[in-house]
Amino acid sequence: TGATLMNEMSSRSHSIFTIILEQRRRIVVGGEGAEGGEDDYVTAKFHLVDLAGSERAKRTGAAGNRFKESVSINSGLLALGNVISALGDPAKRGSHVPYRESKLTRLLQDSLGGNSRTVMVACVSCADGDFEETLNTLKYAHRARNIKNKPVVNHDPRTAQLA
């Protein structure tokens, strides 16, 4: 953590918390009371992501290591914005999606353009001084809203082969 002119207790980083759920169901062949059966696995993965805010160096007063941190944060957000634009823009459908531009986009690859539903919660401010950041956040969220995925239930392929 580190203080800037905009935020006294800034974490100065992105954070990702991943939860993987696996459900196992016993499929009994032959009706009630039959012995044996096969296991059916259904999995789900949740990425809970807290993105560090994009902050202008002039407003934060960042210098030295804080400035380097802000450059790194902004480059990750830019790469994520490029991926969101590539996935959400109908004119760019089928074109190259630059997942490898940052660690952040690489980690979120399956959540953004894969077999998933994506929800974005944007935190904004009603203060006049934060108007520009709020507007940029809303534009970013609007681009993310344009991503259209068609998720399907993930079944274990070993079980599907046996059926």
- What string of DSSP letters covers the chain? -B--SS-TTB--S-EEEEEEEEEEEEEPTTSTT-S--EEEEEEEEEEEEEPPPP--HHHHT--THHHHHHHHHHHHHHHHHHHHHHHH-GGGTTS---GGG-HHHHHTHHHHHSSS-----------GGGHHHHHHHHHHHHHHHT--------B-HHHHHH-
pLDDT surpasses 70 at 9: no
CA pair distance 44, 106, nearest whole angstrom: 18
Which residue is listed with tokens 């009630």? 32
pLDDT (tens digit per residue) in 70-112? 777 888 888 988 998 888 887 777 788 898 988 888 988 888 8
Q: Give the percent of the chain with pLDDT over 70.
A: 73
Q: What is the predicted pLDDT for the residue at 155?
A: 65
147 neighbors 113 (Cβ within 8 angstroms): yes
- The string of pLDDT tens digits covering residues 114-131 is 788 888 888 888 989 888
Answer for the pair 137, 24: CB distance below 8 angstroms, yes or no.
Answer: no
Average pLDDT, the chain: 78
Which pLDDT tens digit goes with each residue over 147-158? 888 888 766 666
Closest CA to 81 of 134, 147, 132: 147
Residue 162: pLDDT above 60? no
> Closest by alpha carbon to 147, among 104, 102, 115?
115
